[in-house]
Amino acid sequence: MSINTYEKEFLETLKKISQYEQAINVMYWDMRTGAPKNGEEYRAEAIGQLSADVFQMRTSKRMKELLDHLWEQKDSLPHDTQKAVEEAKKEYDLNSKIPEEEFKEYTTLTSKAESVWEKAKKASDFSLFAPYLEKIIDFKKRFITYWGYEGHPYNALLDLYEPGVTVETLDSLFAELRESIVPLAQKIAASQKKPDTSFVHEHFPKEKQRELCHFFLKELGYDFDAGRLDETVHPFQVTISQGDARVTTAFNESDFRSAVFGTIHECGHAIYEQNIDEALSGTNLSEGASMGIHESQSLFYENFIGRHQGFWKRYFHKMKESCPEQFEGVTADGFYRAVNESKPSLIRIDADELTYPLHIMIRYEIEKAIFSGEVAVEDLPKLWDEKYEAYLGVTPPDDAKGILQDVHWSGGDFGYFPSYALGYMYAAQLKSSMLNDLPEFDRLIENGDFQPIRQWLTDHVHVHGKRKKPLEMIKSATGEELNVRYLIRYLEDKYTSLYL
């Protein structure tokens, strides 16, 4: 069999896997946006079976034969095929160490666990979710022993989401960031220069919020011919295929910020997916470079665009038109200050830009403790509350606003949370580099001209898909290694001007 024949079969297998994943993602999206409750268990089993089929394709004897042949001659392969082989080999080496039935059992468990998490959150009762979480953690610990690791066991999980990043890297970055954030947050708490936020919590009808979310998605360049907006409990973005990148949001009629900024955040994820090179479609490279790079795009849209003063100079009139009574007497500047309010909070997704990284550090430290065996599942709510008191000076009143607020653990996504903070660092560094090419950045936002910004991000990030590793992507786009000082400078400049 010639190498071209091997290559052809390999790419056809990747395409088949991609098609299975499309079906799984449609079921996943449906399950979280309104599928009948009575079908949850059957749906979870179906997802488990299809995921097991994908697992089998990725770890089959034939896949190993294809990878072995292609690996030997990879230097003669086209660049994209080389990268696809490298990615598939890494996946094979990881997945082939997990027994197939064990993986199927784990996938079925996580599919069921998400529905249990929803019920537990609604009831604010961690004990309902704890047995599922304990099983998920046990699976993850077994997987880590199968895979092996260097240094901290948590490194094995970090590598799944952010290749090249370790506990040692994060401990250093987070320490530097924390040393700047905490004193600044304390100064802001003592400042007498506080924004008026009294209008924020007045009633804002859901349908008016939905119209606004559609409007902002269109303005920012989200292609509705390649996606849609739906409602869910916990906002997310899911890519069915390159021509179908969907976003969801959660509406709170007592706080419009959740839907507006949540939608803009998911918009950043989706625009990334909509602009990956079509040549990568149907391969394992047709996705974001890493979770952190993906978060850099969502946070870029949410914070560097959506919370920019110029954005609200242009669009505050839309808010007033949607709910005139709520914003009577409020100016665009007053609105900008209100939506950039900084204060300690309980809920991560509602946190301000300054304190947001502290929420991530809390989760990071708890996950590290879980996988080093320092804490049992039954003790997690207490540990969670203690860390919120220590880092943010607030204590959750119940499980729903504490340990149960995030969906990620129900899907087994341990090692994922640090990507949010890394994404923030990446975004700040990308923006600094972007200003060299687009010094008129502020004016573009005030004019509602997002195309040049979107094009810069597409050229430097989106189009590459998974061709580059995250730290390689940042070096290529900005000319230097990851540097947390860009984020620190951004936060210091913005919040000093607002509060001090």
Distance CA 17, CA 283 (A): 9
Q: Which amino acid is at 53?
A: D
Q: Which amino acid is at 432?
A: S
The count of other CB atoms within 10 Å of the CB of residue 272 is: 28
* 265 known ligand binder: yes
DSSP category for residue 198: T
User: Would you say 221 and 215 are in contact if contact means Cβ atoms under 8 Å apart?
Assistant: no
- Complete edge-to-edge strand list for the sheet that includes strand 244-249: 229-231, 244-249, 237-241
- Which structure tokens are listed for 412? 């087994």
DSSP category for residue 338: H
Distance CA 302, CA 61 (A): 45
Alpha helices in 301-440 (DSSP H): 309-322, 332-339, 356-371, 380-392, 418-437
User: Would you say 165 and 150 are in contact if contact means Cβ atoms under 8 Å apart?
Assistant: no
* 152 known ligand binder: no
**Residue 39 Cα to chain centre, angstroms:** 28
Q: Which amino acid is at 269?
A: H
* 269 known ligand binder: yes
**Beta carbons within 8 Å of 343's beta carbon, 6+ residues apart:** 188, 189, 352, 355
Q: Across the chain, which distance is largest between two alpha carbons, in Å?
A: 75
Q: Which of 14, 10, 13 is nearest to 67 (CA)?
A: 10
Distance CA 494, CA 335 (A): 15
Name the 3-class secondary structure at 230.
strand
With tokens 């003790």, the residue in question is 379
Catalytic: which of 118, 266, 302, 367? 266
266 in active site = yes
Distance CA 381, CA 110 (A): 20
Q: Give the 3-state secondary structure of 268-308.
A: HHHHHHHCCCHHHCCCCCCCCCCHHHHHHHHHHHHHHHCCC
- Residues annotated catalytic, as ranges: 266
Binding annotation for Zn(2+): 265, 269, 295
Binding annotation: 265, 269, 295
